[in-house]
Amino acid sequence: MSPETHHGSAPAAVPPNIAEDAFLFRGELQCRDIISAYSGPVTDDLLSGFGNAMRAKLELDETDRRVARSMFSVLVEQVQNIIRYSSEVQFAGNDDAPAAPESRLPHELRFGLVLVGKRGDGTHFVSCSNLVDDGQVGQLDGAIGKLRGLDRKTLGSMMKDALRREPPEGSRGASVGWITVVREATGGFDYGFYPISGTGKTYFTFRAYFD
């Protein structure tokens, strides 16, 4: 009897190996010196859990306490920036309007990316990213760029002045927050913008280093 043949049928697709895919993704994170990573909706509860995990890892690694304190301070400021300012936001009920006041759901969730890592030279870093409106880019660039290269004494004086002044409308104390982050970033910092074509949005990343 001749073997059975199937005419015109495509070969069965090979199912993806999800374990292999996850392992390769983990390897990509390690290649980028990333210890912990989170991407998605950012909340105060996430900050608490992520921060506790980071502190536990730093303690196990016997990281200098000064570095650990600075990293935690920057993590708090940066994650709160995402919670307050990310322009990638989902409102309860629908995508366009906040939930009714009596709702038990959070009125809104804002999204971002949080990374903690350690480079080969021993320098730690905390990196946070989120979408911002294109109109915010100039303000952010000016607020952060003017802090580059300043020493702790100068930054401390700037912080005192900022605390005495009324915060700019809608800033929610952002200028003081950036001064705090830069003061704690003992190894310096980097930041950048990536415009998302046709959306009116720009992806913003700030990375603080600690040595």
Indicate whether 164 belongs to any domain: no
Q: How many domains does the chain have?
A: 1
C-alpha separations of 134 from 26, 127, 153 in Å: 32, 21, 33
Q: What is the CATH number of the domain that holds 126?
A: 3.30.565.10
Indicate whether 42 belongs to any domain: yes
Domain residues for 193? 33-91+107-142+185-210
**pLDDT value of position 103:** 47
| Beta carbons of 79 and 50 less than 8 angstroms apart | yes
Indicate whether 26 belongs to any domain: no
Q: What is this structure's pTM?
A: 0.83
| Residue range 37-70, pLDDT digits in tens | 999 999 999 999 999 999 999 999 999 999 999 9
- Tokens coding 149: 């290269």
**pLDDT value of position 8:** 58
User: What whole-number percentage of the chain has pLDDT above 90?
Assistant: 73
Indicate whether 49 belongs to any domain: yes
| Residue range 83-123, pLDDT digits in tens | 999 999 998 765 555 545 454 556 899 999 999 999 999 99
